[in-house]
Structure 1
Amino acid sequence: MKKNTLLLAGLLGFNMAMAQDIKPYGALPSKAQVAWNDMEYYMFIHFGPNTFTNKEWGHGDEDPKVFNPTHLDARQWARTAKAAGMKGIVITAKHHDGFCLWPSKYSTHTVRESAWKNGKGDVLAELSAACKEYGLKFGVYLSPWDRNHPEYGKEGYNQVFANTLNEVLSGYGPVFEQWFDGANGGNIKQPYDWNLFHSVVYKNQPNAVIFSDVGPGCRWVGNENGIAGTTNWSTLNVKGFGPGVAAPATKVLNEGNEDGEQWIPAECDVSIRPGWFYSPETNDKVKSVSSLLDIYYGSVGRNGNLILNVPVDRDGLIHPNDSTRLMELRRVLDASFKDNLAKKAVVTATNTRNGNAAVKVAHLNDGTNTTYWATGDDATTATITLTFKQSVTFNRIVLQEYIALGQRVKAFSVEVLEKGAWKEIAKETTIGHKRILRLSDYTATQVRINILDAKAAPVISEVQLYKAPGLLTTPQITRKANGQVIISSESTDPVIHYTLDGSEPTLKSPQYTSTGKEILLPQGGLVKAKAFLKGTGSETTKASFDVAPAKWTIVSAGEAAKDHDAVNAIDGDNATLYVTKDKAYPHELIVDLGETLSLKGFTYTPAGERGIIYDYEFYTSADGKSWGTPAASGQFANIKNSPVLQTVPFKARSARYIRFVAVSPADEKQVAAAIAELGVVTR
C-alpha cells in the first residue's frame, strides 16, 4: 500500500510539473478541493434531540434528557457508510437548537446534561474513532444559529461560537469538511462574523473544505433535492454575497457562474427520507433505488458531490430500511460501472498538444483522472474518437476534465457511427470533475466526443463507456379526490400487483390494470404495489392515505390568482395549485368537510418553491362560526429549502369545518400564498 501511495504521489508530481506547459485557466481548485471532488459521495447524519421529538428545527427549550440513544453504535454507522461505497461522514455536531453532541464547556445544552451514558458520552469522539477504523473521512456541521444559548443575539456570541468551533476542530482529529448553515431565524437576529469563524477553521484544519451558500470551499446547490444544474460551473462570484439570506439566486447556486471569481464547486444535499431527522412515521418512506439513482446522476453525474443524509434512529442506529436501500443502491452502481468498455478502444483525437510528455491521447481511456490529454493552445474545439474491433453496446458515458488546470469545456456532443453515418445521441454543456450521461442502449464500433466550445484548450482526463443493467422502476401510487387509487409505472409493459392489507405484493396478489376493477379508498388505507417483468419484481412502494376530500367544499378563501382556484387545494391532485393574488399576508382558507370527523392533525403540501407558507394557524369548528383558539400554530421548519409535505399533529377533536391561516411567508419577497393540497389526519 505504501509503495502504491508513493507511486501515485510521484505521478501527480510529474503531471503537475509537466502541466506547467499548459497555462491554467480561471479560478483554480486547491489540493484539498481536488481531493474533496474525488470523494464524490458521502454520508450526512442528522442526529440530536429532534430525533426524539419529531421536529426538524428544535426550539432549544427541550429537556436535554430526552436525548438517550441507549444502543448507539457509531461503528455501525461507519460500517454502513463504508459498505455503501461512501467516502466519509458529516454529522450535525450542533443544530439550531444548540444541543452539542459532545460535552462542550461553552454550553449547558449538551450530551453531558442528557440521559445518555449518564452524561458521560461523547458522540463526536465515538464517530471520529469509527471513521478512522473504517477508513472514512470525518466532517462536522455546526450551526451558528443557537436557540438555546443565552448569549445568542448579543455582542459576545460570535466569540462564544468561535470558541465552540475551536473546541470541536481541535479535539477530534482531521476534519475534511466544515459544514456551516446560514440559518439566522426566529425573533433574534445575530450578525455572524464569518471571517472569525473561517479563521478558526483554517487554524485548526488547514485542509478542511468549508461549506456554505458561498463556500469558500464548496457551495450549496440551491435545493435540498440533491440535483445540480445540467450546466454546472465550479466557479462562483462571491463579492456582495454571503451565507443565508445574502446568498446568490437559486439559479446561480444551481449552475455556478461561468468565469466566476473563486473555485467553489457544488455540493448536493438530500435526505434518504422526507425529513432530515429520524421519525418513525417515515420508516416506510425511504427513497426508492430509482429515485436515488436519479439523484446520483443529477449530482455526481453533473459535476457535484453528493452528501446523502441517513438519519440515525432513536436507538442510536441506522435503521434497517435505510441501510438495506443503501446496499441496493451500491449493487446497482457497482453493476453499472463495472466494465469500462472504453479500455478496449483505440483512441484518436483531431488535435493533441505537442512537446509535453504528460499529454497523451492514450490517457483518455487509462482509467485514472490523474493523467490527461489536451489540445494545443490555439484549439478550443476537437474530436475524440473511440474505435472498437467489434461492436460494443453502451448506455452510459463518463467524461472528466483535469480540474487542477481549471474548468474549460462549455459544450460537447456525442455521436455514434450507424450504418456508415454519424448520428448525434447527446448534446450537453459543462463537464468539470465528472459528467455522466444516461442514454438508451447504442451499439457501435465507433463513438466520438466532439468538444464544441471551450474557454481555453480543453484538458480531458477520462472518456469512459459502460453498459448499465436495466432497472425495473417502482410503481407510483396516487389517489383522486373521490378516493380512487391510481397505480402507474415508468417501466415498459410491467405487470403490477398490489395489496391493501399491509402484506408484501406477490404474483398471486391482485393485479392492477387501468381498465380493471377500481380501487376505492375514500376513508383511507394502506396500499402496497410492486411491478413485475418476466418474473422479476421491483422494489415495493407504499402509500398511506387518510380521508379523501370527496365531500369537501370551499366555504371561504382569499382571492385566487387567475386559473388557480381555491378548489385546487382540496382536489387530491398535487399538480393543481391554489395561489392567492399578490396581497399582503395573512391569507386564509375555510373548508366544509361535509361530515363530522375526529381530527388528529392536518397536512400541507407546498406548491414547489412558489408562495411557501412559514408561520401558520389551524382552527377547527363544529358549526363553521365558533373557532376558539388554534388547534395548532407555529412554523413549518426548513420549508423554504425543503418544500415537502408537512404533517402537524394535535390533540384529537371533533369538527366539520377547518380553517387554515397562512400567517407569514417563508420568503418575504413573495406576498402570495400557495397550496398544492390541504389535508386532515384522522388515522
Structure 2
Amino acid sequence: MSNFIQKSALVSPTKRQLNWQETEFYAFVHFTVNTFTDREWGLGDEEPSIFDPTDLNAEQWAQACKSAGMRGLILTCKHHDGFCLWPSRYTDHSVKNSPWRHGDGDVVKEVSDACRKYDLKLGVYLSPWDRHDSRYGTDEYNTYFKDQLRELLSNYGDIFSVWFDGACGEGPNGKTQIYDWDGYYQVIREVQPNAVISVCGPDVRWVGNEAGHCRESEWSVVPEELRDREKIQEKSQQADDTEFRNLVRSEDEDLGSREVIRNAGELIWYPAEVNTSIRPGWFYHAHEDDKVKPLQELLEVYYQSVGGNATFLLNIPPDKRGRFHEEDVKRLKELGQVLRSTFQNDLALGSSATASESMDKEHEAVNLFDRNSDTFWSPKLGTERAHIEIDLGEEKVFNRIVLKEHIQSGQRIERFKIEYQDAAAWKEFSQGTIVGYKRILRFNKIKARYLRITIMESRWCPTLSSCEVYLGPNA
C-alpha cells in the first residue's frame, strides 16, 4: 500500500470539528439595517434610527428552527454595513443608538436566550469588512475588530461556530483592509476554544457556492492549501452580485481523491458546509414572499449536504417586524415534518450481521446497530475490501439507508455497493463513493430481509459505525 494512502487514512477531526459535524442542520439569520432599506449589502452610511423592528421575537425564530429539525442558529451580528446588533462599547453604530427597545435592546442577547430555551447551539457571524468605520484600512481597525470579537465571544454563553466570509472591499475612506486572520483566530481559540472557525478559518470549509450544489464525493481529508483559498483578497466578493450568489464552481469538483492527494504535501481534516437561503436573497425583501424555496428543493439540498458528508446552513431572514415571515415558517415546518416522519423508525434496530472479517471482537459488524457513535466495525489493518451481510430478522419494505463511518478514526471508504437477496441471488440496488460522517442513500422501495454492504475500495481499512434502514416518501 502506498504511504500516502495510509497517511490520508490517519487524518481525523478535532473534537470541535466532530461536535460541529453532529450539528448537521442549522440556521443562518441575516438581519440588520438592510432589512429596513431593502438592500442586500448596506453602504455603511445608514442611520441607526432606521433599525426599529416592531415585534422582534427571537423565540419565534428558535421555534421555527426547531420545527425544521435544526440544531443551531448563526446570527449576523455585524454585516458589511458595520451596524452592530448588540450595544458594543467600541462603536456608536449599533442598536444602542436606535429607537428599538428605547436604545436598551440587544438582539444577540435575545437570540442567545432563545437558543438556550429551545436547545439550539448559538453561532455568530462578524463581518471583517466594514463600510462604516473610519478605521477600516488601518492597523487600528484590526484592533477594533478583535476587541469586538472578544466582546461577542465573552458575553453570550457557549458559541459553536464563528462564521467569517472573505468579502473585502473599500471602507468609507476608500481604503481596503489587510485582515489579521491569525490574530482573529487567536482571540477565538482563547475565549471560545470549542467553537469552529468557518469558511475563512481553519476548521470548516465552504462548499464553494451559494446555490446549494454539493459534490458527489465530498472528502473531509483534503490538501492543506485549501485552508487559505477563501482568504485571498483578490478573489473575494467585493460587490453584491447575483451571479456570484448562484455560482457553482465545477472545476473544484474533486478535492480529495487519490489522484488529488497523491502529490499533495500536508493533508488536513477540513470538512464542508453547504449554505443557501430559503429565499433568493439573504436579507428580507417583501417582493420575495412568493419566492420561498419549494419543499422538494430544500429536501434535495438536505439529502445532498447532510446526506453527503457535509452540513446544511439554511438562511431565514426576519422581516421588518423582527419575525420570520409566515411563508418561511410554514416551509420550515413542512420540512421538519417530512424529515421526522422519514427518520423516526429505524428498521435495522435489533438486526444481526456477519462480516467477511473483523479486526477483533470489539470491532464486529453488530456494532452497526447499537446507535453508539464510538463503536464500529472494522476488518484487520491493511484490508481495503470487505463485506457485511445483514439480517433484518424478517422481510421489510424500505427506501432509505443511512451509513456512517467512524470518522474519529479517519475517512476511509472510497467506493461501495449495497445488494439485497432475492431468492438465492444478490441484486445490487445502490452504490456510492464516499461515506464519511453520514451518507443517505435513496432508492425505489425494496422488500427484503437480507442486505449486503460491500466495500470495494478504501484507504488502509474501512470502518462503519452505523447502518440505519428507513421507509420514507418515494425516492
What TM-score does the superposition give when structure 1 sets the normalisation length?
0.63
For 1:253 and 1:367, how far apart are their aligned partners in 2? 34
Give the 3 Å change call, closer, same or farther, for CA 236–121 of structure 1 in structure 2: same
Q: Say yes or no: does 1:462 pair with 2:466.
A: yes
5 Å-filtered alignment, 1:223-372, equals 223-239=209-225, 241-245=228-232, 250-251=249-250, 256-258=255-257, 261-354=267-360, 357-372=361-376
For 2:471 and 2:89, how far apart are their aligned partners in 1? 55
Counterpart residue type for residue 102 of structure 1: W
Identity of aligned residues (%): 43
Structure of higher CA gyration radius: 1
Partner-residue secondary structure (3-state), 1:79:
helix
Shift of 1:243: 2.5
Question: Partner of 1:141 in structure 2?
Answer: 125
Residue 69 of structure 2 contacts residue 339 of structure 2 at CA under 8 Å; is this kept in 1? Answer: no
Question: Partner of 1:416 in structure 2?
Answer: 420
Residue 363 of structure 2 contacts residue 378 of structure 2 at CA under 8 Å; is this kept in 1? Answer: yes
Counterpart residue type for residue 184 of structure 2: F
5 Å-filtered alignment, 1:597-608, equals none
Q: Say yes or no: does 1:188 pair with 2:187.
A: no
Give the 3 Å change call, closer, same or farther, for CA 253–80 of structure 1 in structure 2: farther
Query: Which of residues 398, 410, 417 is equivalent to 1:406?
Result: 410
For 1:302 and 1:286, how far apart are their aligned partners in 2? 24
Unmatched runs of 5 consecutive residues or more in structure 2: 1-5, 237-247
For 1:154 and 1:242, how far apart are their aligned partners in 2? 23
More deviation, 412-421/119-128: 412-421
Shift of 1:338: 1.9
For 1:232 and 1:387, how far apart are their aligned partners in 2? 30
Shift of 1:391: 2.1
Residue 13 of structure 2 contacts residue 408 of structure 2 at CA under 8 Å; is this kept in 1? Answer: yes
Counterpart residue type for residue 328 of structure 2: D
1:422-447 CA deviation, whole Å, 9 max, x = no partner?
A: 22222211110000011111222221
For 1:178 and 1:158, how far apart are their aligned partners in 2? 17
Partner-residue secondary structure (3-state), 1:322:
helix
Query: Which of residues 189, 192, 199 is equivalent to 1:205?
Result: 192
Question: Partner of 1:568 in structure 2?
Answer: none
Counterpart residue type for residue 296 of structure 2: S
Residue 30 of structure 2 contacts residue 317 of structure 2 at CA under 8 Å; is this kept in 1? Answer: yes
Residue 444 of structure 2 contacts residue 474 of structure 2 at CA under 8 Å; is this kept in 1? Answer: no
For 1:255 and 1:81, how far apart are their aligned partners in 2? 32
Give the 3 Å change call, closer, same or farther, for CA 115–290 of structure 1 in structure 2: same
Shift of 1:255: 5.0
Give the 3 Å change call, closer, same or farther, for CA 281–79 of structure 1 in structure 2: same
Partner-residue secondary structure (3-state), 2:32:
coil
For 1:401 and 1:190, how far apart are their aligned partners in 2? 42
Give the 3 Å change call, closer, same or farther, for CA 359–387 of structure 1 in structure 2: same
Shift of 1:118: 2.1
For 1:461 and 1:177, how far apart are their aligned partners in 2? 26
Q: Say yes or no: does 1:157 pair with 2:124.
A: no
1:561-600 CA deviation, whole Å, 9 max, x = no partner?
A: xxxxxxxxxxxxxxxxxxxxxxxxxxxxxxxxxxxxxxxx
Unmatched runs of 5 consecutive residues or more in structure 1: 1-21, 472-683
For 2:251 and 2:373, how far apart are their aligned partners in 1? 27
Instruction: Write 1 or 2 for the structure with the bigger share of strand.
Output: 1
Query: Which of residues 41, 56, 78 is equivalent to 2:62?
Result: 78
1:280-304 CA deviation, whole Å, 9 max, x = no partner?
A: 1111111111111101001000001
Q: Say yes or no: does 1:452 pair with 2:438.
A: no
Shift of 1:244: 3.9
Q: Say yes or no: does 1:104 pair with 2:108.
A: no
Residue 49 of structure 1 contacts residue 66 of structure 1 at CA under 8 Å; is this kept in 2? Answer: yes
Residue 222 of structure 1 contacts residue 254 of structure 1 at CA under 8 Å; is this kept in 2? Answer: no
Q: Say yes or no: does 1:169 pair with 2:168.
A: no
For 1:334 and 1:398, how far apart are their aligned partners in 2? 14
Instruction: Write 1 or 2 for the structure with the bigger share of helix.
Output: 2
Query: Which of residues 85, 101, 120 is equivalent to 2:104?
Result: 120
Q: Say yes or no: does 1:219 pair with 2:205.
A: yes
Partner-residue secondary structure (3-state), 1:185:
coil
Question: Partner of 2:400 in structure 1?
Answer: 396
Partner-residue secondary structure (3-state), 1:460:
coil
For 1:172 and 1:398, how far apart are their aligned partners in 2? 36
Q: How many residues align?
A: 447
Shift of 1:305: 0.7
Q: Say yes or no: does 1:53 pair with 2:37.
A: yes
Shift of 1:265: 0.7
Q: Say yes or no: does 1:383 pair with 2:387.
A: yes
1:349-393 CA deviation, whole Å, 9 max, x = no partner?
A: 111112xx5322111122332321111013111111112343222
Counterpart residue type for residue 368 of structure 2: L
5 Å-filtered alignment, 1:627-646, equals none
Shift of 1:48: 0.4
For 1:311 and 1:54, how far apart are their aligned partners in 2? 12
1:643-682 CA deviation, whole Å, 9 max, x = no partner?
A: xxxxxxxxxxxxxxxxxxxxxxxxxxxxxxxxxxxxxxxx
Partner-residue secondary structure (3-state), 1:160:
helix
Give the 3 Å change call, closer, same or farther, for CA 232–161 of structure 1 in structure 2: same
Counterpart residue type for residue 170 of structure 1: S
For 1:57 and 1:407, how far apart are their aligned partners in 2? 39
1:132-186 CA deviation, whole Å, 9 max, x = no partner?
A: 1221111100010000010111232111111111111111111100000110024
Give the 3 Å change call, closer, same or farther, for CA 255–105 of structure 1 in structure 2: farther
For 1:145 and 1:379, how far apart are their aligned partners in 2? 50
Counterpart residue type for residue 399 of structure 1: L
For 1:425 and 1:126, how far apart are their aligned partners in 2? 49
5 Å-filtered alignment, 1:661-680, equals none
Residue 233 of structure 1 contacts residue 257 of structure 1 at CA under 8 Å; is this kept in 2? Answer: yes
Question: Partner of 2:78 in structure 1?
Answer: 94
Question: Partner of 2:242 in structure 1?
Answer: none
Name the structure, 1 or 2, with higher relative contact order (CA <8 Å, separation 6+): 2
Residue 27 of structure 2 contacts residue 70 of structure 2 at CA under 8 Å; is this kept in 1? Answer: yes
Residue 400 of structure 1 contacts residue 463 of structure 1 at CA under 8 Å; is this kept in 2? Answer: yes
Give the 3 Å change call, closer, same or farther, for CA 162–253 of structure 1 in structure 2: farther
For 1:200 and 1:389, how far apart are their aligned partners in 2? 54
Partner-residue secondary structure (3-state), 1:153:
coil
Counterpart residue type for residue 205 of structure 2: R
Residue 215 of structure 2 contacts residue 253 of structure 2 at CA under 8 Å; is this kept in 1? Answer: yes
Give the 3 Å change call, closer, same or farther, for CA 142–25 of structure 1 in structure 2: same
Residue 220 of structure 1 contacts residue 253 of structure 1 at CA under 8 Å; is this kept in 2? Answer: no
For 1:60 and 1:101, how far apart are their aligned partners in 2? 14
For 1:216 and 1:170, how far apart are their aligned partners in 2? 21
Counterpart residue type for residue 193 of structure 2: P
Counterpart residue type for residue 204 of structure 2: C
Partner-residue secondary structure (3-state), 1:301:
coil
Shift of 1:470: 3.2
Counterpart residue type for residue 272 of structure 1: I
Residue 8 of structure 2 contacts residue 221 of structure 2 at CA under 8 Å; is this kept in 1? Answer: no
For 2:393 and 2:66, how far apart are their aligned partners in 1? 38
